[in-house]
Amino acid sequence: MPECLVFRVPAQHPADVSGVMDLVTSGTVGAPEIVAIFGKTEGNGCVNDFTRQLAVMALETALATALGCTPAEAGARIALVMSGGTEGGLSPHFLILARREGPAAPERKALAIGTAFTHAFRPEEIGRMSQVEATAAAVGRAMAEAGLTDPADVHLVQVKCPLLTSARIADAAARGHGVATHDTYASMGLSRGASALGIALALGEVDREQLTDPAIGTRRDLFSGRASASAGIELMRNEIIVLGNAPGWTGPLAIAHRVMDDGIDLPAILGVLSDLGFPEAGPLSRQESERVIALLVKAEPSHDGLIRGRRHIMNDDSDINATRHARALVGGVAAAAIGRTDLFVSGGAEHQGPDGGGPVAVIARVRD
C-alpha cells in the first residue's frame, strides 16, 4: 500500500541542498522514493530570478550522485518546483515529497501524490490554448497515477511552467511564428494562467467552450480553486504534481484546501486547519504548529486596487513588483495563523482563485 511522505528542511541559500541530502544519507528517505521537491528561494520571483535555476542545478547534481545517473536524468525523473520570492518574513526552504510502500491500513483516504509532465513547449505555445490542453491532459495522467478517480478528492495541483525570454521570442520569429506577448514579465502571468485553466478544465471547474486564447489572462471569472502555478526560466515544459486524499493509500498525512477571497482572508486559512481537525478558532499553538508539514498558498494583488473597499498601492509601486508586495502580505497573514514562517507562498495567481485571492492548501499529520 503506497504512502506519501513529506519533509520540510531549511535552506541557507538557493544552492544549499544539504538538508535534502541529509534525509537521503541518514536513510530517512531513499533517493529513488523522491518524486517531487518544492523550493522557496530568496530571489525576486521575476524573469531574471536565477535563484530558481541555481537551486534546480544544485538539486539535480546532488540527486544524480545518489541515484547513480546524470543530473539531466535526475531532473527528468523528479519534478523540481522552485518558486522565487521570500519577501517579508518568509523563510527559504524545501519540501521533499516521496512515495514508498507502507503497511496495509484500515480502509480510509490518506495523502496521495501523482506527477506528470507535458512535452517541451515551443515559445509560441506558451500562454495559449495548446498549453491549456497539454496541462489538462497531464493532470489527468497524474490523477490516474495517484488513484484519484474523483476530482473532489484533489486538493492541490502544483505546476511549474516556463516563460518567454527575448531569445525564445526571437526563436519563434525566426521560424515564422508569433508569441502571446513580447513582454517577458507578462509572459509569466500568461503561462501561469494557461496552466491554471488547464487544471480547471481537468477538474471540471470550467467548461471547454469558455476557453480561448483571448480568455487567458483576461477572463478573471474563470479560475481553479485548486491550482498553484509558478513560472520560471529554468524549463520549457510543465511539471505537474497532483495532491489529494485517496483510498488505497496509507500514512498519517492528509491535505485540505479552501479559497482565500482576498489577501487578508484569515478565516479561509483557519477553515482549512479546522477541516484537518485543528482547533476552530485562533492561531495554532507551537505544538500544534509542528503538525503542519506544509502550507501552500497563492498571492495576487487585486486589479481594482482595493482590499475590502480600501485602497492598496501594490499595483502602483514602481520600485517593488506587485507580486512581491502580495507575497509579503499573504505570508504575514498565513504565518500568524500557523505560527511559522517556512511557508510556500507563491505570487502570481492568474486564474488561481478569484481576483485578489487564491487557493490555500495545508498538509498536516492527522493521525499517529
Displacement of CA 339 from its chain's centroid (Å): 21
SS3 (DSSP) at 191 = helix
Q: In sequence order, which residues have a C-beta less than 8 Å from that of residue 138 and are 6 or more positions away? A: 116, 117, 118, 198, 238, 240
Q: Is 247 annotated as a binding residue?
A: no
Q: Is 89 annotated as a binding residue?
A: no
Q: Is 74 annotated as a binding residue?
A: no
Cα gap 132→136, rounded to integer Å: 6
- Residue 230 catalytic? yes
Cα gap 273→362, rounded to integer Å: 7
The contacts found for 50-55 with CB under 8 angstroms, 24 or more apart, are 50/233, 51/14, 51/82, 51/84, 52/14, 52/82, 52/83, 52/84, 52/232, 52/233, 52/234, 53/82, 53/232, 53/233, 53/234, 54/14, 54/15, 55/11, 55/14, 55/15, 55/17, 55/80, 55/82
Please, are residues 97 and 6 in contact by the beta-carbon 8 Å criterion? yes
Q: Is 356 annotated as a binding residue?
A: no
Q: Which of 160, 187, 224, 302 is catalytic?
A: 160
Q: Which of 195, 224, 230, 302 is catalytic?
A: 230
Q: Is 357 annotated as a binding residue?
A: yes
Q: Is 228 annotated as a binding residue?
A: no
Beta partners for residue 2, in sequence order: 101
Q: Is 189 annotated as a binding residue?
A: no
Q: Is 30 annotated as a binding residue?
A: no
Of 255, 181, 220, the residue nearest 352 (C-alpha): 220
Q: Is 131 annotated as a binding residue?
A: no
Which contiguous run of DSSP H or E holds residue 292?
A: strand 292-299
Q: Is 230 annotated as a binding residue?
A: yes
Q: Is 122 annotated as a binding residue?
A: no
SS3 (DSSP) at 279 = coil
Q: Is 302 annotated as a binding residue?
A: no
Q: Is 300 annotated as a binding residue?
A: yes
Displacement of CA 164 from its chain's centroid (Å): 19
End-to-end CA distance of the chain: 17
Please, are residues 66 and 37 in contact by the beta-carbon 8 Å criterion? no
Please, are residues 86 and 42 in contact by the beta-carbon 8 Å criterion? yes
Q: Which residues contribute to the annotated binding site for substrate?
A: 52, 83-84, 192, 230-231, 327, 346-347
Instruction: Detail the residues annotated as belonging to a binding site for Mg(2+).
Output: 300, 349, 352-354, 357
Write out the catalytic residue numbers. 160, 230
Question: Which amino acids are annotated as binding site, given as ranges?
Answer: 52, 83-84, 192, 230-231, 300, 327, 346-347, 349, 352-354, 357
